[in-house]
Amino acid sequence: MLDIQVLRTDLENVVSLLAKRGHTFPAAEFNSLEAERKTLQTRTQELQARRNAVSRQIGNAKGRGENVTAILAEVDNLADELKQAEAQLEQIQTALQHILLQIPNLPHTSVPEGTSEADNREVRRWGTPRTFEFAVRDHVSIGESMDFLDFPAAVKLSGARFSLMTGGLALLHRALAQFMLNTHTREHGYTEAYVPYLVNSESLRGTGQLPKFKEDLFEIPRQRFISTERLSRNQSYQRGSPGDPLFTPENDNLYLIPTAEVPLTNIVRDRIIALESLPIKFTAHTPCFRSEAGSYGKDTRGLIRQHQFDKVELVQIVHPRQSYEALEELTGHAEKILQKLELPYRVMVLCTADMGFSAAKTYDIEVWLPAQSAYREISSCSNCEAFQARRMQARFRNEKGKPELLHTLNGSGLAVGRTLVAILENFQNADGSLSIPKVLQPYMGGLDRLGPKPGN
């Protein structure tokens, strides 16, 4: 969330920067609400001051033996006016808050301006794509030929955009996650966390998924059971019916996490962190759940775009002066996984129009997929500056001992399913087998190859 004081003092510049992101800021509505807020705030302060002054007159009048009926009536009237003004002011503040929650972060000055992903800029490449002397197959054909990947069964179990992996492929998937976690905890200094897969709306609001992106989430209705001690003795509801007080809908439903960024970053919500505790670095391996609203027709074949997928997430909570140095470090940690796996990739800096809602600057890491003859995203690493921290009220005590907003960063280190896709396609062999990258062989019980199903 942006600082409302910046909107109040530098609105024209904010509107211009947001336009570069393709966001049209409702300046007229904001200015109108701000004018009402100022008027009501002034009126509220005047009423408070008048009520206090008149209230003091009551004691003095009583001391002189005077009739205070008129003064008491005036105090009551002032109290009513004040209550009404405060209610109107709260409505205005709520409307302003709603606008703030819909506004994306401002782009950093180093972010290239652009109108689409075509304007993203390549920063560097690593590795050389392999030259194949046989017809390259995509990851779906490879997995199915080994009898390790079964999409029809997944459709029967859950529907489209789910997958079922068995045998060697399931083992390889697990090995990747373990390898990533070990690398980040043992070599990069992250603390591993096991986090809830269901979170409340406040957590999603803190990291920016709510309220704007609710349609992309899987919402789970939550039921709250009331103690029988609170029931009326004359209760006549049938147990389990909608009217049964034992079966009361909770106001705040839970949501399946779209990424471990949500629970990991919200660990510091409503906290003031000691300066010496910074930086804080968390990693977690979790499933991620996304409805992929509006993405139908894109990557519907295979493991690229799923409703459920696994990811190893990296989160850093840092001092504001160190956040851009931390962004380079975090991106490097994600790159190191691909280097160890010997997978060619490139790093792109996203333009203003292609960044995520909460990001001030983002690097995308794209891995080479031979079957597509293209680089495809496997990780996004972002610096959100104070945008999420302001929503979460996540702060630290600075060098002067005063509370100050933290900066938050996150990135995939990596998306496990897409890494599996890259290995299937880059390490395939002419005989239909799959070579296991050397760094993963200890996690595979020493296996260096997976063979195809006989007859394939």
Is 14 inside a domain boundary? no
Q: Residues 345, 409: one domain?
A: yes
Is 2 inside a domain boundary? no
Res. 296 pLDDT band, cuts 50 70 90: low
Is 233 inside a domain boundary? no
CATH code at position 85: 1.10.287.40
- The model's pTM is 0.90
Q: Is the pLDDT of residue 298 over 80?
A: no
Q: What is the mean pLDDT of the chain?
A: 92
Model pLDDT for residues 156-167, shown as the tens digit of each residue: 999 999 999 999
Provide the residue range defining the domain that includes 257.
Answer: 117-222+248-450
Q: Residues 55, 176: one domain?
A: no
Q: Where are the beta strands (DSSP E) in 171-231?
A: 191-192, 198-200, 218-220, 223-224
Q: Is the pLDDT of residue 301 over 90?
A: no
Model pLDDT for residues 34-45, shown as the tens digit of each residue: 999 999 999 999
User: CB neighbours of 315 closer than 8 A, spacing ≥ 6?
Assistant: 260, 261, 264, 265, 281, 282, 283, 408, 409, 410
Selected residue with higher pLDDT from 224 and 313? 313
Is 252 inside a domain boundary? yes
Domain count for the chain, please give it. Answer: 2
CATH code at position 124: 3.30.930.10
* Lowest-confidence pick of 42-56, 314-328, 433-447: 42-56
Q: Pairing state of beta strands 361-369 and 345-349?
A: antiparallel
The residue among 102, 136, 160 that closes a domain is: 102
Q: Residues 160, 280: one domain?
A: yes
- Show binding-site residues for L-serine: 259-261, 290, 313, 410, 412
- Show binding-site residues for ATP: 290-292, 377-380
CA atoms within 13 Å, Cβ hemisphere of 140? 11
By annotation, the residues acting in catalysis are: 290, 305, 377, 380, 418
Is 20 inside a domain boundary? no
Q: What one-letter code names the amino acid at 79?
A: A
Res. 68 pLDDT band, cuts 50 70 90: confident
The residue among 35, 68, 102 that closes a domain is: 102
Is 50 inside a domain boundary? yes
Q: Is the pLDDT of residue 453 over 80?
A: no
Model pLDDT for residues 368-377, shown as the tens digit of each residue: 999 999 999 9
Q: Residues 158, 212: one domain?
A: yes
Q: Residues 98, 130: one domain?
A: no
- What percentage of residues in the chain have a pLDDT greater than 90? 83
Is 58 inside a domain boundary? yes
Q: Residues 197, 66: one domain?
A: no
Q: What one-letter code names the amino acid at 366?
A: E
* pLDDT value of residue 273: 98
Q: Residues 369, 345: one domain?
A: yes
* pLDDT value of residue 225: 46
Rounded mean pLDDT, 173-195: 98
Res. 57 pLDDT band, cuts 50 70 90: confident
Separation of alpha carbons 359 and 21, rounded Å? 11
Q: Residues 133, 81: one domain?
A: no
Q: Is the pLDDT of residue 240 over 70?
A: no
Q: What is the CA radius of gyration of the chain?
A: 28
Q: Residues 166, 76: one domain?
A: no
Res. 378 pLDDT band, cuts 50 70 90: very high
Q: Residues 214, 280: one domain?
A: yes
Q: Residues 211, 257: one domain?
A: yes
Rounded mean pLDDT, 170-191: 98
* pLDDT value of residue 52: 87
Q: Residues 34, 180: one domain?
A: no
The residue among 79, 102, 125 that closes a domain is: 102
Length of the chain: 456
Separation of alpha carbons 389 and 406, rounded Å? 6
- In degrees and rounded to multiples of 5, residue 375 shows phi and psi of -90, 135
Is 98 inside a domain boundary? yes
CA atoms within 13 Å, Cβ hemisphere of 296? 3
